[in-house]
Amino acid sequence: MAEPPAARSAGGRWLGRVGALLVVAGLVLGAYVAWQVWGTNVVSQRTHRALVEDVRRAWAQEDGRASSGPVRTDRGRVSAIVRIPRFGDDYAVPLLEGTSEDVLAAGFGRFANGPAPGGKGNFAVAAHRVTHGEPLRGMPELAPGDEVVVETREWTYTYVLDSGGDDLTVPFTAGWVLDALPANPDGGVQPAQEPGQRLLTLTTCSELFHTDDRLVAFGHLESRERTAR
């Protein structure tokens, strides 16, 4: 028995509405992905530049006076500027205190359990590899011997990497990489096991899209000099 025309018409309208909703949902999802991948980069890169300028201006105003510590901004407390020559002469990203999502949207974040730049122990920092300015998108390009320059108000510290940017991948739960002297429980990549070192640890996502794994690179303090004004 043939289906009544009214029933066919109602079914067609229902399918049409479902199809329209799916199209709208796809457009919304596509817009969200585009914002995350490209939009946040534009906003965060502007934030990086603005914070670097703000911090340098604040440091210049403090010349001749005792340091008041990290510069307070509307994005957090900025303690240094990170430069990685491998990523180009114009590369300059603010280093903020902490590793919250808001902090990492504004630059590098320093893990609170480690020393300040130049200090003994493990100066460990994190940054996004994709979205939010992607400061460490080029992490796999880093090689042993590459420099990471950390500029503070008074001193500029030059760290040299001892491992490459893709030599070590760990799960995000691998807390040993933040220890004062990281010792790899699997016997793989790790810093030289000598006490009293001034170490650097870089961490970022291991993939360009969502992952629970992290790329980790280790380095050591090579030199320091007075920050030029």
pLDDT 10s digits, 54-97? 999 999 887 666 666 899 999 999 999 999 999 999 999 999 99
128 catalytic residue (yes or no): yes
The tokens of 68 are what? Answer: 């008041």
C-alpha to C-alpha distance for 128 and 135, rounded to whole angstroms: 6
Distance of CA 219 to the CA centre of its chain: 17
**Global confidence as pTM:** 0.80
Distance of CA 170 to the CA centre of its chain: 16
Q: Which class is domain 5-226?
A: mainly beta
Catalytic residue, chosen from 128, 132, 210, 220, is 128
210 catalytic residue (yes or no): no
Average pLDDT over residues 24-29: 49
Share of the chain above pLDDT 70, in %: 76
pLDDT 10s digits, 14-23? 666 655 666 5
Catalytic residue, chosen from 48, 132, 205, 210, is 205
Q: Where do the structural domains in the chain lie, given as residue ranges?
A: 5-226
Number of residues assigned to the chain: 229
Strands 198-205 and 121-126, by their bridges, are parallel
